[in-house]
Structures are given as C-alpha cells and as structure tokens.
Amino acid sequence: MSYNINLQHIIFRTAHSQPTIPEDTKRILLAYINSVSLGMGVTIKRINAWMNHVHILADVPVTVLLPDYVRKLKTTSSVAFRGYAGFPMFRGWARGYGSFSVSYYEKEHIANYIKGQEDHHRYKTFAVKNFLAQKSRRGHTGNATG
C-alpha cells in the first residue's frame, strides 16, 4: 500500500482584487469550499480568507490534478455566491492562482500563517500606513528619486 501526503498552500484572489469577501459571512464561503473539497477527496488542513483572497492548506491526493481542483473550487463558488445576499459585492474570482508545495515539517507554520490572516493584514496595513505617514512628514514625494 502506498502512502502519500501532497500538502499545497493555495491562494486565489477575487475579481480585480476587490474586497468582496465580508468578514461576517466569510465562514459560509469557507464551509462551501471545504464541502467541495471533501467531495473531491481533498482534505483541507486550514482555510481562511481576507477581504480579497482565500488561503487554503490542503492535502491533495495524487488522483486529483491540482488545476482541476482549483478550477472546480473557483467556478462552483463563483456560481454559488454571485448574487448571494451575504456577498452583495462578490463578482467571482480573478484568473489564475498560486500554489506552493509545503513540507510536512512546515505544515504547522503555514497553518498558523493562514489562521492569522486577520492579524497579518491588520499589522501589514498599519505598517504601510505608518511608513507612508513618516515618509510624507519627511517631505518625500513618493517617486524613486524623492
């Protein structure tokens, strides 16, 4: 008997990277993605979303082609959530996706990163705003020479 683990960190964005995944209803989208995944034999280890993108840590069996899996997630969820009251601005997904193989020994690190998306983006947004404010106070114009 063969034993395979194929951990993938998959990320895909909303159409035009618009913030169309509401925080208060994103759990519905994530549950839907989990359901579709289970139907394909894919085990989700961790899933989360932030306003304009989804992160998934999944164990994708060797019998499932990754492009087919992501295509099914994106097409079925686009149909299900376009026009759904809980996602009034959702217009589907952008073309493409990112996928990165994850070592068994790194899975907890990646799972924690995915779990902490809210804090990650809250800090990142604060850091960028703080940097731009400091730059502005120092008279930098924002171009490469200024």
Dump pLDDT digits (tens) for 86-98.
999 999 999 999 9
Supply the pLDDT for residue 143. 44
Structure tokens at 116: 């902490």
For the chain, the DSSP string reads: ------EEEEEEEBGGG---S-TTTHHHHHHHHHHHHHHTTPEEEEEEEETTEEEEEEE--TTS-HHHHHHHHHHHHHHHHTT-TT-TT---B-S--EEEE--GGGHHHHHHHHHTHHHHHHHHHHHHHHHHHHHHHTT--SSTT-
pLDDT at residue 116 in the model: 83
Q: In the CATH scheme, what is the code of domain 7-132? A: 3.30.70.1290
Which pLDDT does position 130 carry in this prediction? 52
Full-model pTM = 0.81
Instruction: Please give the residue that has the higher pLDDT: either 119 or 50.
Output: 50
Amino acid at 106: E
Mean pLDDT confidence for 109-128 = 69
CB of 66 within 8 A of CB of 99?
yes
Question: pLDDT tens digits, residue range 11-69?
Answer: 999 999 999 999 999 999 999 999 999 999 999 999 999 999 999 999 999 999 999 99
Ordered by start, the domain boundaries in the chain are 7-132
φ and ψ at 142, to 5 degrees?
100, -10
Average pLDDT over residues 59-85: 97
Answer for the pair 55, 48: CB distance below 8 angstroms, yes or no. Answer: yes
